[in-house]
């Protein structure tokens, strides 16, 4: 091909890519959730997707790609076509997995295009209904005294429940038996069935079970009490002074997704976070959307960088790794 023809072909390609980005979206968009259906990440994705669909004028579906502590889903999206039709909604675990996994297989900071932050969800310590401790102070004492007996459910290495459990075990200096699941959905079923003793998980899924009296609730992991669960003390009030975990969530597309596509997705996310239905449901589930200025690509990129840098040394010190 001579130079002139090559330049013309390049221009035609650039024009058609721009035209495609302008027309976006023309078909169904998939949001990958890296955990099983029925868990907190799934809940946030389903609420957001319905609202984003309204502003994008296309169907937005949720696909659960669970496993390996929520690392398989983002890796798949990192390798997907950068056309805006496959996105991933993941939480804080996207920043901790960088240090936890020896072979993560992708880099969330360079292989994904950030769209925006979504929400920061408190966690709660909950247990099967007949678990003996009556309150958080008793739970701490009981777990310390029965280290070899009690079992802790989590959603795999890299999950928020893993992170909360890791911080709890470090704080009380106990190494407990953990039972990994593909997400909070199946973990909650086993907890309610009494097959596993206790867990720490997001209010987005524990609130209905706490209010319905299906599990025993002990404390929230934030530094202040949560409005919709006002009777629950904080873990800090119960004796573990610096204990704090919040589970932030973000939305990403594959790297090199055209800017006009990212801009449309960010605008749809911002509209979803103002949608009264989303705001009300989030409040019922103990959380609230981030301010609009944080539901942006720049804010998510900056937040991810801060979190990767924050958790790296903590995880290194704890000496926990997965392959």
Q: Which stretch binds ligand ASP (CB under 6 A): 32-40, 206-214, 226-234, 279-287?
A: 32-40
Binding track over 57-96 against ligand ASP, x by CB under 6 A: ------------------------------------x---
Q: How far is the CB of 247 from ligand ASP (least distance, A)?
A: 7
Is residue 97 within the footprint of ligand ASP (CB under 6 A)? no
Is residue 40 within the footprint of ligand ASP (CB under 6 A)? yes
Q: Which stretch binds ligand ASP (CB under 6 A): 96-104, 142-150, 158-166, 281-289?
A: 158-166
Of residues 29, 160, 268, 269, which one binds ligand ASP by CB under 6 A?
160
Tokens 């840098």 map to which residue? 309
Is residue 119 within the footprint of ligand ASP (CB under 6 A)? no
Give the residue with the Cβ less far from ligand ASP, 155 or 265.
Answer: 155
Of residues 52, 159, 220, 265, which one binds ligand ASP by CB under 6 A?
159
Binding track over 195-224 against ligand ASP, x by CB under 6 A: ------xx----------------------
Is residue 183 within the footprint of ligand ASP (CB under 6 A)? yes
SS3 annotation, the chain: CCHHHHHHHHHHHHHHHHHHHHHCCCCCEEEEECCCCCCHHHHHHHHHHHHHHHHHCCCEEEEECCCHHHCHHHHHHHCCCCCCCEEEEEECHHHHHHHHECCCCCCCCCCEEEEEEEEEEEEEEEECCCCCCCCHHHHHHHHHHCCCCCEEEECCCCCHHHHHHHHHHHHHCCCCEEEECCCHHHHHHHHHCCCCCEEEEEHHHHHHHHHCCCCEEEEECCCCCCHHHCCCCECCCCCCCCCCCEEEEEEEEECCCCHHHHHHHHHHHHHHHHCHHHHHHHHHCCCCECCHHHCCHHHHHHHHHHHHHHHHHHHHHHCCCEC
Q: How far apart are CA 148 and CA 285, in angstroms?
A: 33
Phi, psi of 65 (to 5 degrees): -115, 80
The residue with its CB nearest to ligand ASP is 39
Of residues 161, 178, 257, 287, which one binds ligand ASP by CB under 6 A?
161
Q: How far is the CB of 303 from ligand ASP (least distance, A)?
A: 17
Is residue 168 within the footprint of ligand ASP (CB under 6 A)? no
Give the residue with the Cβ less far from ligand ASP, 24 or 168.
Answer: 168
Is residue 155 within the footprint of ligand ASP (CB under 6 A)? yes
Binding site for ligand ASP (CB under 6 A): 35, 39-42, 93, 155, 159-161, 183-184, 201-202
């Amino acid at each position: 091909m001579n130079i002139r023809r090559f330049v013309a072909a390049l221009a035609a390609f650039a024009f058609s890519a721009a035209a495609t980005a302008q027309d976006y979206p023309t078909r169904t968009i998939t949001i990958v959730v890296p955990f099983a259906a029925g868990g907190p990440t799934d809940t946030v994705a389903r609420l957001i997707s319905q609202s984003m669909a309204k502003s994008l004028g296309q169907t937005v579906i949720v696909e659960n790609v669970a496993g390996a502590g929520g690392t398989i889903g983002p890796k798949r999206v990192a390798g997907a076509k950068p056309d805006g039709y496959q996105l991933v909604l993941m939480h804080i675990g996207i920043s901790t997995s960088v240090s936890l996994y020896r072979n993560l297989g992708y880099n969330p900071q360079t292989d994904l295009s950030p769209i925006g932050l979504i929400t920061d969800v408190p966690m709660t310590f909950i247990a099967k209904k007949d678990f003996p401790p009556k309150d958080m102070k008793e739970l701490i004492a009981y777990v310390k005294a029965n280290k070899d007996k009690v079992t802790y459910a989590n959603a795999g290495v890299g999950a928020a429940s893993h992170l909360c459990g890791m911080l709890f075990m470090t704080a009380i200096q106990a190494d407990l038996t953990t039972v990994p699941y593909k997400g909070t959905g199946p973990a909650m079923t086993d907890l309610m069935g009494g097959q596993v003793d206790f867990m720490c998980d997001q209010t987005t899924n524990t609130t209905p079970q706490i209010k319905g009296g299906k599990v025993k609730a002990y404390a929230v992991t934030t530094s202040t009490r949560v409005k919709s669960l006002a009777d629950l003390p904080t873990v800090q009030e119960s004796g573990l002074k610096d204990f704090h975990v919040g589970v932030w969530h973000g939305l990403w597309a594959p790297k090199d997704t055209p800017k006009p596509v990212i801009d449309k997705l960010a605008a749809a996310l911002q509209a979803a976070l103002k949608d009264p239905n989303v705001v009300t449901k989030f409040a019922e589930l103990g959380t609230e959307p981030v301010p609009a200025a944080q539901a942006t690509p720049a804010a998510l990129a900056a937040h991810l960088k801060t979190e990767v840098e924050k958790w790296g040394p903590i995880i290194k010190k704890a000496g926990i790794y997965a392959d």
